Every structure is written in structure tokens, then in C-alpha cells.
Structure 1
């Protein structure tokens, strides 16, 4: 394509953007230092050497470009506004970049558009008295933040008590400051949003895991979060980005609080670390999407969906300048792993030197694949010794039958531990067929939130079938089916004076559109066999075992028939 894009900034984001542009024959001109990572893969003489904060260099870059965009928001927006007024296309708009640059103004802007954010307070002078007033208003702890040029924890200070006020002032001296009320969150989520000339689109909501205020891992999709909450996260991110002018990709970070509400933390007006996974996991990466958006090229919304689950791990520098290369070398032998090195030369502790992304049919499989690389990164960072035993992350812990190491394919749920004896026969079938499973107690009535979160995340964790046993009102199977597209098999349990008929009718009489397969009262054997048949449709091993089981049952009946025929009914004995 006969287009030229000028980019302010040539770090790893610019490098990956350039890779996307190269595939479409779009020329990219970089403004950054001479040996910037992005310039190393773009062999032409039109780059500009200099600072992306220098007005003269920005003007020079704008010559001959169809559009200017940014790889980092810490740029000179005054000259960008001037160029925009002269007809230079700049995406996103300079006014947008200017607002987002100042994190306090960013929050104030979002409030105007009724986007949920943490409470914040301006700190005009950074005095002890002002911080004491924040403590009185917000309580402790609270976050003291730099309004500008803060990233990866730099420029932030958690003030845990009034005794830390002087320390916080010293740590962030000579900066414009504001304070935020502490957000007690149970997970950090992120959504990459794409704003085009006529629509606002969103990638899936992902989970980000931070260590020392630096993003360490990204799980796509987010773990242990219901589909309803993930949809709310996408909607909130789109609402936030739609309040700004300009096209391109925006990275939206947010907190999922303990009461399941969402708060926007920060927005980046550019591709973002939390979106690296899209390169391998989605048909159109965040870098492809940014390029298409600013050049008004088509972006099918379905191209932003996950092909399969993914986990991204940042490779940070260690005390050894070459430590990051050791991680990359180790990753070469790990299957289903893509490696990205940023050509930054020698590493330093905490500096982002590259990343790896693992994709797999299920999140659990991806977790198992990437765990050795997480261990290696932990050794380099000093958070784990080289002799430490590799352990799967918390979300991977599950009950499995003895002798199997596979991720669970069947989830067996019960509303109470009193239902457990009914399920023993079903467990025996699953173990006979060597089908990995997990079993949990979750009540449709007493633990509705936990049940919803667990069931909503089941498909992403590799579960293929859910068996749910319940007595009495027996709402567990139906409520499970309401939260997942997976097949659900209900097992009615005799748990009342009605002999289990109430449970049977509660399960089988589901409303149209929310199907639940239902077996006879107390018949977990059939539930497990039905689960095996479903899995066996595309699992040749399980399918063969189902056929063998049926053949064995036929042989058993035929043998009994032969014995009865030979002995007669009076002599025939049965258990």
C-alpha cells in the first residue's frame, strides 16, 4: 500500500507496529534515538534521529507522512496541536494525548462521561498538610501518584500511614502529584479497544498479573471471572475510549473489586503491553488493528476474538546483562511458544527485554506449558531459587483421578457433600475411562457468586462437560447451564420425602433455550457415560472405550441369557 506512517517513539511497541506495517507494504518512519529497536528492522534512510519531545524533530517527521501516530504518550503535544491545525493527520487527536498524558486530568475527563474511576484528589503543592488531608478524606492506605510520565510503578507511592508522608514526598519530589483512594481489588483486568472512524471495538478482557508494579503475566481470557463480568469490562472500556477523539488502539487497565464492580485505572492512547498476546492469539493483532484504524482500513469485529487461550510472559532484565537471552534460549525448546526479543542490547534489572506467548486449546494446558519459563524468570529476578520445585499457578489446582496428569475435561458439581455418595458410581466410570475430572461443592442458592464464576470460566479452563447433582429444588444444573455454553448433565438426588421426584422435575423442566440433559434419579453412572460419549465424539481414545463398554455390556447380557436358557428359571441364581 502506498502509505507512509510517522511514529513518535521507536521502542518495542514501535518495533512490533513496524512488523505489522511491513506485511502490508506500509512505510513507517520512526522518530527516536539512532539505535532504537524499531529502526533496526526498517532499512531505509527516512527515519529521524532525535527526541519525540523535540518540536523541530516532530515537524521534520511530519513531512511526507500520510498520518502521524505515537508509540509512547510522553510527547510534545503543543507542536502536535499546531501541526494538526495546519492539516497534518494525527491519530489519536493531540487533544486526546494531552488529556491522557496527565493522569489526574484523564480521571477528571472520565468522570465527566460517567465512567467509573477511583476517587482522586489534586495535590497542588505536595505539602505534608495536603497529604494529611488526603489521609483524613480517603483513609489509609492511599496512592500518591505522579500526574505525568509514570509507568511500571515509577512515580507512584503507596502511603500506608501518616508516618510515611515525609518519605512519600521525598520519593516523588519535583513532580506534579495527585492522590487516589485505595482500590481493594481481587483482580486486575485489561481490554484493548480499537476506535475507528465509525465504530468502537474491543478485544477480550484479559487478566494482568503484576510483580513489583511491573506486568509479569497476561492471561487471555481472564481466569475465574464470569462471562458477564468480562462483558461488562469490555463495555466499560469501550465507553471510556469513546469519550476521547481520534482513531487507533487504546489500552484500558481496570480493577475488578471484591464486590464485582469495575473501576478504570489508566488508559494508554496506543498499543499496550497487555495486548501483546493478540499477535499469536487473534486473527488481527493490536498492531495490525492500530495500523488499520489510523489508515481507515477494514477491521472485521470477529478478527478481534481469540483463536484459542493464550498466556503472555514478560522477559525482564536481571543482574546479568545477558539474562534475558537465557530465557529466550530456554523458550526455543518449549512447544506452542512464540518468542519476541526487543533488540535493546544489554539488559538491566526490571527492564522489559522481550516477551513470550504460549497458546493452547485450554488455559490449563497453556499454564502447564509456560510454567518452566515462569520458574526461569523467577530465578533471574531472585524471587525463586534455582532448586525450587516447579508448581502450577493457583488456578491450575484441581482434583484429578489417580494416574492422570491431563487437565480436567469433566467438572462434577454437587450442591452439598450429602450428594457425594450418589456420585461415587460416576467417578468410577470416569476413572475407568481415564477421563480427567474435577469435583467441587457449590450451591446454586448459598454460593451463587462462586458458582457463577466457576461455571463461567469452565470452558476457558478446558472443561468439556459439566455433571451437576442436586436434590430438593435442584437448581444447580439449570443455573450452571445458564452460565455456560458447555453441555450440562443433571443428576437428580433423592434428598426429600418426595423420593427425588421433585429433583427430577426441577432439572428436566428447563425453559426453552437453556437445555439440561437429565438422567434417572441417583443414576450418576449414566451421567458419566453420557459425558464420555460427548467427549468421545472427537476423542478417538474415549470413543473406543465407550464402544468397548457397550460391547462388554452386550456380552454380559448374552452370557446371562445363555445361562438362563441352559439352567431354567428355577435353577438360575442372581446376586
Structure 2
């Protein structure tokens, strides 16, 4: 971009690397302060970088002189120095925010002061006898509870689960030399995360995702989360916005939270920067978390629609295994999968548990993504030396098409169309939803359909045939009307009913009893955004062409009388 300001980044790891990838597309120069051959510097060659430690005060001063805005890719930085240089350069997010968030206990207390739900905690710093203090916490909170370091803690480092009183001496040995606090155990059902963008225009959010951790390190991210209602995801986004709204400064923030078994949400931790749980946005959203961070700190426009999910996605971290090239073997397997995008971080040789890269797989449905990524999950596990359990069962595909009918007597008419959907491997669901006998059920189904995996609805009905029209009035999804020939008027009444919908309530109507065309029209609608399905349709249409040409040649060779005789056999 013309006259773009220069951005300085404290830290040059994988987050800085992906930030530079986004910056390069906008022609924004990013100056990195980190060691000489850090992952971020490997993909950006200019003389604005600084070799050194992002905790070195003099190096931070030098970086500030070369930039218009300074940001971070890791919160464990010298906030005293950032406070000092803030008079000469813009620091985003604010050094005050970084200072608060880098101390996890202070972070939790600050959130509580602003009415944001967090797990109950106790300050243990300065306790004369840590073992006695931990036993007192055990009596108050019960077991298990979490012992956490206030600072310099990430990916499970600095955390210890105190499962019973016998664990107390070990907890002291492991973390006793750190500033500590204890936290009540959160009996959660799922771990969720929301990437939040704070900019000149307010606070926006990316979609809610589900995160799965292994050995306290994020292993998988599911977008959208599995088995979480739209109501809960909306609450999670609002909670994340409330939390980030309490802090100063602009940029992208990662908000991790617990979904408890009673559907209560508690904030677990906040990162004042792009986050592992937001990697999926590079492929799955129109604007990635990295582009959003740059736009926010540089006061560039961020269209809210750009933060929406384009299609379901799963992110798998490539964690170092037992061999030095384990990440390369995983990447080689991943590039054979058409929907998979591979990101390697340029870290050299793998070490067990080290984040070497990630894979994002997108698909029309989350179930399809789960099935396609499972072999890669198994490979990651095998590289870590983890024994594989029984072969994972294929996840049932979520329906893309809903076929609804007013009566089970319509099912024979639907058979041909359902077979077409099966032949094209399009997952579907078939339901009975009478417009007259079960109007409440039809309304409920229609109103909720758009919040599920369903993309198209086929409504079959005879007689007055109000079903597809009523469904269309309650949903934003495309509805295809299939008139069914009833005992009277040969289905013409149903055809007229569907085609004569009032303006503003369209129903795409096919011929009487023509469920084949209803299914093919649904496939064409899906194919507008699914190239794989469009290719299948092309092959099918080519088959039709071949068959017609074969019959034409046969007619020409045999003559019409012999051809007619053959047709009668």
C-alpha cells in the first residue's frame, strides 16, 4: 500500500512469520527484533530487522526508532521499556495491557473487576511455607486444583495439576521458584476460543472455535465447534468482546475459555496478539487474524463480513516427534490431500512437542473435514510414538440437503431423487413435516435449518401443497418445490400452488413428480461453491450425452421400425 507505515514486532517466531506473510500482500514493511535466523526473518529480506533479544531495552529502543507502530508476537516482553518508548512510537496494544496480561493472576483479577467470569483463584506469592499454603488451598477448593505461574507460562509450561495432597511436595519442587497462584478446577465440557479484533471502529470477533489440547498444548481447532448451539457461540462471542473491551489498545486478541457442563462460560486466558487457535482464519475466513491485526494497529478498514467463516475448517498442529524430520514427513502426507493447506515454520530440526507447523483442512461440512484429516492426526500421533487405538470410525456426514414431505405417501415419488443424491455422495436428511397437521414442527425445522449444515431444502407436497411455501417464509435457504401427483387434478393444483408464491417468497419449482430434477437442482446449487461436486455433475452430464449419442447411432443403423421393436422387448 502506498505510504504504508512501518511496523515493528517484538519476537520473530511463527506468529511473526505469518504476520509478515499477511503484511507482504499489503506491501507493509515489518521490522523484526529477534535472533538472526528466526522464522519471521527467513521470509523477509531488508535492512530494517534487528538482531537481538526482544527483552533487551536498548534493542527495543533501536526498533522503535525504525518504526511507526510497535506490536508483539509474544507478551513476555519488557513493558517498562515499551512504556518509555511509547512517547515516541505507537505501541499496540497498549503497554498497560501487555503488563496486565503477562501476569496471569493480575489478568484474572482485572477481568473480575470488570464483571467477566473467571475461575476463582488465590495469590500464593510470598507465602513463607508454600506446602502449607497449597494444602490450605486444597481444603478450600478441593482436589484437583491448578497451580500456575503468574508469568512466563505457555503451552503448559508453568502449570501443575495438584490432584491430591500427596502431589503438594512435587508441585513445590516443580514450580516453587516462580511467582505462583492457585486456581479452582474448572470442570469443563469443552474448551472454546474466540479471536477478537479491537480497532478504531470498535470490537469485532471471528467465529467461535473448539480447541483440543494434548499435554497442555493445542493439538486441534474445530471451526465451528462440535455440538455447541448457536446460542452458546453467541454468548461466547459476547463474553470475549466484553473481556477485550476492558483493555486498552488495538489489535487481535486470543480469548480462551471453558464451556462448563452446565453451559456456563469462564475465561481461561487472554493473549494480546494473534493466537494458535486463530491459524485456521488464513484459509477459512476472508480476512485472516494476521491481516486483521495489521489493519487494526494501522487504522485500516476491517469489514465485519470479512471475519466470517467461509466454510468449516480443522487446524492440526504439526508437533515435533521422535525423529528430527517428523514434521517433513507429515507435510509430505498432507500435500497429497487437495483441501489441506500446509504451513511449516522454518524451525530446523524437530524436537518432541515443539510446534513445527500446522495444517488447515477446509470442507463443505465439518464431518467431511474430520474424515479427511483423520489420517493426518493418526500420523502425527505415530510420529510422537503414541500407540494408535482402534481405527477411527468414519464420522457421519452432516446433511447438506433436507428433503421434507407432507406425508410418507410422498416417499415413493422422492425415491429417484434420493438415489441421485446418494450417487453424487451428497449427504441428506429426510423428514415428514406437514404444513397442516404439524405446522409448529414445520416452523421449528425451517427456522433452525440455516443454523445447521443444511444448504438446500427440497419440499415435496401434493394437493394444496403449502409445505415448501411455508418453509420458504421461515428460512433464508433456497427451497425447491416438488409437486406430487395426488388423487385429484393430477398434481396440477400442487404445481400452481408452488409457482404462485407471493413476491418476496420464492420457491424454485420443478415438474410434477420430478424428484430427479429437484435433486439435480439442489446439486447445482451446492456446486456453485463446491468444485468437487461440480466436477461430479459434469461427469454425470457427459454420461447423459454419451448415452443419447449412442441411441442416435443405433437408430441410424437399425432404422426406426427395428428400433421400436427393440424398445418393446
Query: Is the TM-score greater than 0.5?
Result: yes
Are 1:340 and 2:304 an aligned pair? Answer: no
Map of 1:184 onto structure 2: 187
- Which 10-residue stretch deviates more, 74-83 or 362-371? 362-371
Map of 2:29 onto structure 1: 27
Structure 2: distance between partners of 1:215 and 1:531 = 44
Structure 2: distance between partners of 1:317 and 1:355 = 11
Structure 2: distance between partners of 1:437 and 1:392 = 22
Map of 2:66 onto structure 1: 64
| CA pair 413-437 structure 1, distance change in 2 beyond 3 A | farther
Are 1:153 and 2:156 an aligned pair? Answer: yes
Q: Secondary structure at the match of 2:226?
A: coil
Structure 1 residue 513 displacement after superposition: 4.0
Q: Could you give the per-residue CA deviations for residues 132-168 of structure 1, whole angstroms, max 9, x where no partner exists?
A: 2222222221111111111111111111222212221
Map of 1:204 onto structure 2: 207
8 A contact 1:410–1:437 mirrored in 2: no
Q: Secondary structure at the match of 2:273?
A: coil
Map of 1:568 onto structure 2: none
RMSD between aligned alpha carbons? 3.6
Are 1:229 and 2:228 an aligned pair? Answer: no
Q: Secondary structure at the match of 2:358?
A: strand
Q: Secondary structure at the match of 2:316?
A: strand
Is there any run of 5+ residues in structure 1 with no aligned partner, and where?
A: 399-406, 415-419, 439-461, 493-503, 549-575
Structure 2: distance between partners of 1:365 and 1:512 = 30
Map of 2:422 onto structure 1: 435
8 A contact 1:195–1:249 mirrored in 2: yes
Map of 2:177 onto structure 1: 174
Which residue among 336, 351, 360 is the counterpart of 1:357? Answer: 360
Structure 2: distance between partners of 1:413 and 1:101 = 54
8 A contact 2:367–2:396 mirrored in 1: no
Map of 2:446 onto structure 1: 481
Structure 1: distance between partners of 2:27 and 2:196 = 24
Structure 1 residue 430 displacement after superposition: 6.5
Is there any run of 5+ residues in structure 2 with no aligned partner, and where?
A: 487-511, 528-533, 545-569
8 A contact 2:421–2:519 mirrored in 1: no
8 A contact 1:468–1:489 mirrored in 2: no
Which residue among 359, 367, 370 is the counterpart of 1:367? Answer: 370
Q: After the TM superposition, which residues 96-495 of structure 1 pair with which residues of structure 2 at under 5 Å, given as runs?
A: 96-124=97-125, 125=127, 127-385=130-388, 390-392=391-393, 396-397=395-396, 408-410=399-401, 432-435=419-422, 467-468=431-432, 475-485=440-450, 486=454
8 A contact 2:446–2:474 mirrored in 1: no
Structure 1 residue 26 displacement after superposition: 1.5
8 A contact 1:478–1:514 mirrored in 2: no
Q: Secondary structure at the match of 2:160?
A: strand
| CA pair 426-332 structure 1, distance change in 2 beyond 3 A | same
Q: Secondary structure at the match of 1:96?
A: helix
| CA pair 380-189 structure 1, distance change in 2 beyond 3 A | same
Q: Secondary structure at the match of 1:254?
A: strand
Q: Could you give the per-residue CA deviations for residues 27-68 of structure 1, whole angstroms, max 9, x where no partner exists?
A: 111111112111111212332222111111111111121011
Structure 1: distance between partners of 2:263 and 2:524 = 37
8 A contact 1:190–1:208 mirrored in 2: yes
Structure 2: distance between partners of 1:488 and 1:264 = 38
Question: How many residues of Structure 1 are paired with residues of Structure 2 in the alignment?
Answer: 494
Structure 1 residue 413 displacement after superposition: 10
- Which 10-residue stretch deviates more, 365-374 or 327-336? 365-374
8 A contact 2:404–2:457 mirrored in 1: no
| CA pair 468-123 structure 1, distance change in 2 beyond 3 A | farther
Q: Secondary structure at the match of 2:299?
A: coil
Map of 2:8 onto structure 1: 6
